[in-house]
Amino acid sequence: MDPDQITGLILAGGRGSRMGGVDKGLQNYQGLPLAMHALLRLSPQVGHVMINANRNLGAYEAFGVPVWPDALPDFAGPLAGFLTGLDHCETPYLVTVPCDTPHFPTDLVARLSTALQAQDADIAMARTGAQVQPVFTLMKISLLESLVRFTDSGGRKIDRWTAQHHTVEVDFDDESAFANVNTQDELVALERGRG
């Protein structure tokens, strides 16, 4: 799949409640905000990138890519980010990554897109061992209407929505590549482990 057919979306719209309410994507890691690490890692894999954020929009806009807040109120979770991304996506495919996982695979998008095409699926999602990684997801933008219906009816769980569609899970061996940061302690530990 041509990367120009894919838009990448960095999910940075959460409350950061386990991190004391700070904006997680703007926390410093190895000298850069976490979300900037995600941007630098994702950009070479896709044709376009945008960020989903609900606070500090000016700080994210300074990254040089479009920034879109949730269309749904009250920090409605990753599906709200998916919805925002699909709504603003101008390519046939959207891939999502979270802002708090700075070492996700550099071949993430290529492997998800290969599996999506091989299985003629609507959605491709990363998996490490038995653990599905639902925020690392490639989807067709034709799913927008389905997601609007699902969220309008109060749905907020990614797996309940993806279960309605032909979804393929793609195995990745390196679990550490998907290590994410939810607390300040985890941020310190990641910094030490990867320093």
Interval 120-168: pLDDT, tens:
999 999 999 999 999 999 999 999 999 999 999 999 999 999 999 999 9
Annotated binding site for GTP: 11-13, 24, 52, 70, 100
Class of domain 3-194: alpha beta
Annotated binding site: 11-13, 24, 52, 70, 100
What is the chain's mean pLDDT, rounded?
A: 94
pLDDT score, position 191: 86
The pair of structure tokens assigned to 85 is 């991304």
Indicate whether 113 pLDDT > 90: yes
**188 vs 92, residue with greater confidence:** 92
Annotated binding site for Mg(2+): 100
Indicate whether 72 pLDDT > 90: no
**Domain extents in the chain:** 3-194
Cα 76 to Cα 154: distance, rounded to the nearest angstrom? 10
pLDDT score, position 20: 82
Q: For residues 5 and 92, is the Cβ–Cβ distance under 8 A?
A: yes
Indicate whether 194 pLDDT > 80: no
Q: In which band, very low, low, confident or very high, does the pLDDT at 73 lie, cut at 50, 70 and 90? A: confident
